[in-house]
Amino acid sequence: MSSRHDPFFDGAPQPRGAAGLRLASENAQPPEPDPVADRLRDLSSQPVGDPLLQALAWLTRHHGKSRSVESLRAGAPVEGPLTPDAGIRVMREAGYNAGLLRKTIDEINPLLLPAVLLLKGGDACVLVRRLDDPTLVAPGACRYEVVFPGPEAAAVPATTAELEPEFSGFILAVSPVETAAGGTRTDSLINLSASGLNGHWLWGTLKRFTPYYRASMVASLLSNVLMLATGLVTSVIYDKVIPHQAMVTLWTLAIGAGIALAFDLFARQLRAHLIDLAGRKADLIISAKLYRQTLGVRMEHKPASAGSYAHYLAQVEMVREFFTSATLAALSDVPFLVIFIAMTFVLGGPLGWVLVLAVPVILGLSWAIQATLRKAMATNMKETADLHGTLVESLEGLEDLKSAGAEGRFLRRYEATTAVVADTALTARALSSWSTSLSMTLQQSVNLILLVWGVYLIHDGQITSGALIGSVMFAARAVAPLGSLVSFANRYQGARAALISLDQMMNAPVERESGRNYVPLSTVTGKVGLHDVGFAYPPAPVPDGAPPSAVPRVLRNVTLRLEAGERMAILGRI
């Protein structure tokens, strides 16, 4: 049997292999002993295959939150040597702020040190500190303290001229995420993670794309302002052009309105593109967070039903769809309905009061059904998860189910759950249909009231026919987002129920918490010991106001000691 060295279990350093990348200074006399070299004792036993990962492990030791190479790489979605992008992700998950910066060596701010220099050929080293002032020495002669982690790790001085031929032009800057005494995070030296490491998995992610949504709101403002041209042009044509047969004025207005429509099309497409782009990026991050949470959850919090858990996990699609371009684009038009109401007052005078009264009526209608809709959607979500759980469990244990003759029991359970799902879905659809239909009826009623009242105002000489037509157009544009808002409110309840379920999943304890500092195990002897250990599974969730259920302890006062190589079998009741 091969006696291949294992750095994790054996603990002894590997035999010195071929030297990695070294600079011209390698032939110089070794420097005086320095405390920096003490930080490399644990890393000297690691293989030389991933210099970037070893450099990052050195940085964690330097910052007082030591992490081994194995713990940094555990759970990282990478194969082969660590790439710079994967290195940023690994360090952020380890509790650090990290980012790539493009700088020359002498341009690096000393406050960023130590940092990882990315070298050519996939190599890397740690630039620890600057030994000279670049302004006081000749170009290329400034000396730095450099560490090459690996079997031949050493802290050596090197000049800029020696480093530049192998330097790729990029550094990976890393700083720990600082927390105040009260637990509130303070600004760190490099705060490249806009959402914060411990931010909410959804809101923190969306916050990172605030510039996209801010730009889309600017595009919505441009679109709504440009659409004022159509109402004003219509009013002028009816009042001035038609009575005087002013064809030159007609074509001038038409060309101007056409230009406004072209810019409106561009603004709408730009808004949709920005929201789609932000949604795509957020979707990738959120999906990775959910699946990582699924893989990292502690075993005692493992979901009881794989089918129900898979259904809840799939509800991220509902939450993601809620933030798609169609929903957010319609919602972004709502704040600008004030502009169209104001223009209705400008053109139609008292006709604007129709919109002032119609807006709260439509919004109140949507608000009135939210409580009933919320209850129906929550029940539907829970029962649908149970339905999927029953289906998956029956398929996985089909052989046992047939052997026990339990087909009838599972069929009865499946049919009862299906009936509840269908009933709650019917209730939710009926409420949504009523709110949408009433909203459309109210919108048409607004146009009818404007026309009837407008005729009387024209008869009294208060407004013109062109002003009435323009007011009707502005009113239609003002109430159109309200219909989308009613649909938005109905969809919100489904997304809210899904978000509550996903929040429960994301709040489950995981094996390794990013905010905790773990003691690295550099030497493994194989001995395992337990002293007075107990264990109990977490209690099942109970309805609000109900007393918590008693949880039996499955292990009590367990004390044992296993020597290296010793085996023990733990058997349950036979």
Tokens 């009881």: give the residue. Answer: 304
At 34 the pLDDT is: 47
| pLDDT at 463 > cutoff 70 | yes
Q: For residues 356-361, give the mean pLDDT.
A: 87
> Above 50 in pLDDT, residue 183?
no
Query: 127: domain range?
Result: 24-192
pLDDT at position 245: 84
What would the DSSP string read from start to end of 230-249? HHHHHHHIIIIIHHHT-HHH
pLDDT of residue 426: 86
- Here the tokens at position 309 are 């858990």
- Is 518 contained in some domain? no
Q: Is the pLDDT of residue 499 over 70?
A: yes
pLDDT of residue 328: 64
Cβ 119 vs Cβ 52: under 8 Å: no
Would you place residue 569 in the very low, low, confident or very high pLDDT band (cuts 50, 70, 90)? confident
Q: Are residues 138 and 167 in the same domain?
A: yes
Residue 10 lies in a domain: no
> Within 13 Å of residue 503, how many CA atoms lie on the same side as its CB?
11
Write the Ramachandran bin of 562: left for phi over 0, alpha for psi from -120 to 50, otherwise beta: beta
Bridge partner residues of 434 (DSSP) = none
- 38-47, 222-231, 354-363, 404-413: which has the minimum mean pLDDT? 38-47
Are 194 and 68 within 8 A, CB to CB?
no
Give one word for 463, left, alpha or beta, with left for phi > 0 and alpha for psi -120 to 50. Answer: beta
Both 238 and 337 in one domain: the answer is yes
Q: What's the per-residue H, E or C state across 305-364?
A: CHHHHHHHHHCHHHHHHHCCHHHHHHHHCHHHHHHHHHHHHHHHHHHHHHHHHHHHHHHH
The helix-helix angle for 210-226 and 325-332 (nearest 10°) equals 60
Question: Is the per-residue pLDDT at 568 higher than 70?
Answer: yes
Q: Which of 75-84, 152-161, 255-264 has the highest mean pLDDT?
A: 255-264
pLDDT-derived band at 182 (thresholds 50, 70, 90) equals very low
Nearest Cα neighbor of 46 from 81, 79, 1 is 81
pLDDT at 515: 61
Q: Are residues 230 and 337 in the same domain?
A: yes
pLDDT at residue 524, as a whole number: 72
Residue 3, pLDDT score:
47
pLDDT at 229 over 70: yes
Beta bridge partners of 156: 146
Cβ neighbours of residue 381 closer than 8 Å, sequence gap 6 or more? 315, 494, 497, 498, 501
- Specify the pLDDT at position 324: 60
- Indicate the residue among 506, 533, 550 that finishes a domain: 506
- The H or E element containing residue 500 is helix 465-506
Question: Based on the domain organization, do 297 and 372 belong to the same domain?
Answer: yes
Asked if pLDDT for residue 542 goes beyond 80, the answer is no
Residue 329 to residue 246: CA distance in whole angstroms: 39
What is the distance between the alpha carbons of residues 166 and 161, in angstroms, rounded to a whole number? 10
CATH of the domain at 436: 1.20.1560.10
One-letter identity of residue 13: P
Q: Residue 196 — pLDDT band, cuts 50, 70, 90?
A: very low
pLDDT given at position 36: 42
Binning pLDDT at 50, 70 and 90, where does residue 544 land? Answer: low
**512 within domain boundaries:** no
Domain termination residue (choose one: 506, 525, 548): 506
Residue 9 lies in a domain: no
Do 67 and 73 meet the contact criterion of CB atoms below 8 Å apart?
no
pLDDT given at position 7: 44
Do 188 and 210 share a domain, yes or no?
no
Position 189 scores a pLDDT of: 37
Share of the chain above pLDDT 90, in %: 1
Q: Are residues 180 and 222 both part of a single domain?
A: no
Strands (E), 4-150: 96-102, 115-119, 124-130, 143-147
Please indicate, yes or no, whether residues 43 and 170 belong to a single structural domain of this protein.
Answer: yes
269 and 169 in a common domain: no
Tokens 């130590």 locate to 114
Q: What is the pLDDT of residues 398-454, one digit of tens each?
A: 888 888 888 888 888 888 888 888 888 888 888 878 877 888 888 888 889 988 998
Which tens digit of pLDDT belongs to each residue from 51-79? 888 888 888 888 888 787 877 887 677 77
Whether pLDDT at 275 is above 70? yes
- Categorise residue 95: left if φ over 0, alpha if ψ from -120 to 50, beta otherwise: left
The verdict on 140 and 166 lying in the same domain is yes
Please report whether residue 208 resides in a domain.
yes
136 lies in the same domain as 213: no
Higher model confidence: residue 386 or residue 193? 386
Pick the residue with more confidence: 128 or 11? 128
CA Rg value for the chain: 34
Q: How many domains does the chain have?
A: 2
160 and 211 assigned to the same domain: no
Question: The tokens of 12 are what?
Answer: 């002894």
First to last CA, the chain: 38
- Is 531 part of a structural domain of the chain? no
Between CA 261 and CA 348 the distance in angstroms is 23
pLDDT tens, residue by residue, 126-178: 998 888 877 777 777 888 888 887 656 678 888 888 888 888 889 899 888 76
174 backbone dihedrals φ, ψ, rounded to 5°? -135, 135
Q: Is the pTM of this model over 0.75?
A: no
* Mean confidence (pLDDT) of the chain: 77
Strands 124-130 and 143-147, how do they pair? antiparallel
Q: Specify the pLDDT at position 12.
A: 43
Give me the percent of the chain exceeding a pLDDT of 70: 81
- Residue 357 pLDDT > 80: yes
Give which of 331, 307, 372 is closest to 483, Cα–Cα. Answer: 331
> Which of 506, 529, 563 is the endpoint of a domain?
506
- Beta-bridge partner residues of 175: 97
What tokens does 407 get? 């087909």
Q: Which two tokens stand for residue 255?
A: 């060309």
Query: Between 4 and 459, where is the model more confident?
Result: 459
Average pLDDT over residues 93-103: 85
The answer to the question of residue 314 being in a domain is yes
Average pLDDT estimate for 275-298? 82
Residue 20 · residue 11 · CB < 8 Å: no
Q: Give the residue from 66, 535, 76, 72 showing the smallest Cα distance to 298.
A: 535
Q: Give kind and range of the element (H or E) at residue 167.
A: strand 167-176
Average pLDDT over residues 368-387: 81
DSSP 173-221: EEEEPPB-TTSPBPP-S----TT-TTS-TTHHHHHTTHHHHHHHHHHHH
**Cβ contacts of 241 within 8 Å, gap of 6 or more:** 247, 249, 250, 253
Q: Closest Cα to residue 475, out of 429, 442, 520, 500?
A: 442
Say how many C-beta atoms besides its own lie within 10 A of residue 487's C-beta.
Answer: 17
The pLDDT-based confidence of 187 (bands split at 50, 70, 90) is very low
Higher-confidence position of 327 and 377 = 377
Are 179 and 101 within 8 A, CB to CB? Answer: no
Q: Given pLDDT bands bounded at 50, 70 and 90, which one contains residue 554?
A: confident
Tokens of 479: 């109430």
10 pLDDT exceeds 60? no
CATH number at residue 174: 3.90.70.10
- Whether the per-residue pLDDT at 191 is higher than 50: the answer is no
What is the CB-side half-sphere exposure of residue 515 using CA atoms within 13 A?
A: 11
pLDDT recorded at residue 150: 66
Is 239 in the same domain as 388?
A: yes
Q: Which amino acid appears at position 107 of this protein?
A: E
What is the token pair recorded at 535?
Answer: 């264990």
* 403 class by beta-carbon count within 10 Å (0-12 exposed, 13-18 middle, 19+ buried): exposed
Domain presence at residue 37: yes
